[in-house]
């Protein structure tokens, strides 16, 4: 395992595109999180101008709600697309530059090659989750103060949900990259499906003129982002009638994990059958 990780680290540590995409991911995420409260309260102010009884301003950075809110913003498909693209590039580059053949010639088995990529997915997801958890803790601590630190663990499972989301979404990207083996094509198709096709399909399946169904809840990307489906803002329940989450459902985690396991199994099967 250590040997496989060393090989992967040598590939990515000097790979500029990897670090640029990581930087963009955290930049967009930090900007979204830090500006979210201001933007939401700006909308509240606009709504209050037309209401006799105004809605109160929202506060999204206090314990324990900060965990759910940060996990929600970090799980938005437009943010998750950055680590997914990273994974697609890492896997397709192996075929573009024939490094996969060189690794096999040097003694690495096909199984070890795939396991090394899965280990990188696990490691990147773990690092990102740790960074996000630490950032959320300090944001919550700054706003809540030390008096409420003992309540900070209440929403912490949302960080575990984010960890599952990130792993599964990157496995989806790993699957797409491996099956297509072309960087531009894989990024284009994965982005098109994740950001356009599935959202359109989601809203179409939810349309009232169709037969009553819950198919839309089982769409692959939707199962990932639904682990933290809404931010912890009580006003959403009052205004839109949304049923806000109180925790991350274990059953909800199993669905994207099942997709990820199935895709990984297909990749291993194809890898054994196909020539490099």
Can you tell me the distance from the alpha carbon of 117 to that of 137, in angstroms, rounded to the nearest whole number? 30
pLDDT score recorded for residue 212: 75
pLDDT at 250 over 80: yes
Look up residue 251 and give its two tokens.
């059953």
What distance lies between CA 11 and its chain's CA centroid?
23
What's the whole-number mean pLDDT along residues 11-23? Answer: 83
- The one-character DSSP state at 206 is T
Domains in the chain: how many in total? Answer: 1
User: Degrees (nearest 5) of the Cα angle 238, 240, 246?
Assistant: 70
- Residue of higher predicted confidence among 221 and 21: 221
pLDDT at 82 over 60: yes
What confidence tens digit (pLDDT) does each residue in 129-161 have?
A: 999 998 888 888 887 765 555 566 677 889 999
Mean residue pLDDT of the chain comes to: 83
Q: How confident is the model at residue 190 (pLDDT cuts 50, 70, 90)?
A: very high
Q: CA separation (Å) from 208 to 129, 194, 197, 203, 246?
A: 38, 23, 19, 10, 28
What's the whole-number mean pLDDT along residues 58-65? Answer: 77
pLDDT score recorded for residue 243: 63
Burial of residue 143 (CB within 10 Å: 0-12, 13-18, 19+) is middle
What confidence tens digit (pLDDT) does each residue in 195-245 have?
A: 999 999 998 888 766 667 788 889 999 999 988 877 776 665 555 555 667
What's the whole-number mean pLDDT along residues 181-191? Answer: 95
Helix ranges (DSSP H) in the chain: 2-12, 16-48, 65-74, 77-96, 99-105, 110-144, 157-180, 183-192, 198-205, 220-225, 234-240, 250-273
pTM for the predicted model, two decimal places: 0.88
Diameter of the chain by CA atoms?
Answer: 74
* SS3 category, 37: helix
pLDDT score recorded for residue 56: 65
pLDDT score recorded for residue 146: 59
Which range marks the domain in which residue 88 is found? 2-273
Can you tell me the distance from the alpha carbon of 126 to that of 163, in angstroms, rounded to the nearest whole number? 7
Contacts of residues 70-73 at CB distance under 8 Å and 24 or more positions apart, as own/partner, are 70/33, 70/132, 70/135, 70/136, 70/139, 70/158, 71/132, 71/158, 71/159, 71/161, 71/162, 71/227, 71/228, 72/158, 72/228, 72/229, 72/230, 72/231, 72/232, 73/29, 73/32, 73/33, 73/36, 73/231
pLDDT score recorded for residue 57: 65
Q: Quick check: 190 and 222 in contact, CB under 8 A?
A: no
């Amino acid at each position: 395992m250590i040997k496989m990780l060393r090989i992967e680290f040598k590939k990515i540590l000097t790979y500029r595109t990897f670090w640029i995409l990581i930087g963009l991911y955290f930049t967009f995420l930090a900007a979204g999180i830090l500006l979210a409260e201001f933007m939401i309260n700006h909308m509240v102010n606009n709504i209050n101008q037309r209401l006799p009884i105004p809605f109160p301003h929202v506060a999204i950075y206090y314990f324990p709600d900060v965990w759910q809110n940060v996990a929600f913003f970090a799980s938005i498909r437009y943010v998750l697309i950055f680590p997914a693209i990273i994974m697609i590039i890492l896997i397709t580059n192996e075929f573009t530059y024939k490094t996969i053949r060189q690794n096999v010639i040097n003694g690495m088995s096909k199984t070890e090659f795939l396991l090394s990529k899965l280990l990188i997915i696990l490691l990147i997801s773990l690092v990102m989750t740790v960074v996000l958890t630490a950032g959320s803790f300090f944001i919550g601590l700054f706003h809540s103060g030390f008096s409420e630190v003992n309540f900070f663990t209440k929403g912490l499972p949302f960080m575990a949900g984010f960890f599952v989301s990130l792993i599964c979404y990157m496995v989806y990207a790993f699957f797409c990259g491996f099956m297509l083996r072309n960087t531009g094509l894989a990024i284009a198709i994965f982005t098109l499906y994740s950001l356009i096709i599935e959202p359109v399909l989601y809203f179409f399946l939810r349309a009232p003129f169709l037969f009553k169904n819950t198919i839309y809840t089982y769409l692959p990307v939707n199962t990932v982002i639904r682990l933290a489906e809404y931010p912890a803002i009580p006003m959403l329940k009052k205004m839109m009638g949304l049923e806000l989450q109180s925790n991350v459902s274990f059953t909800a985690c199993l669905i994207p994990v099942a997709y990820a396991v199935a895709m990984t199994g297909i990749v291993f099967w194809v890898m054994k059958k196909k020539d490099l």
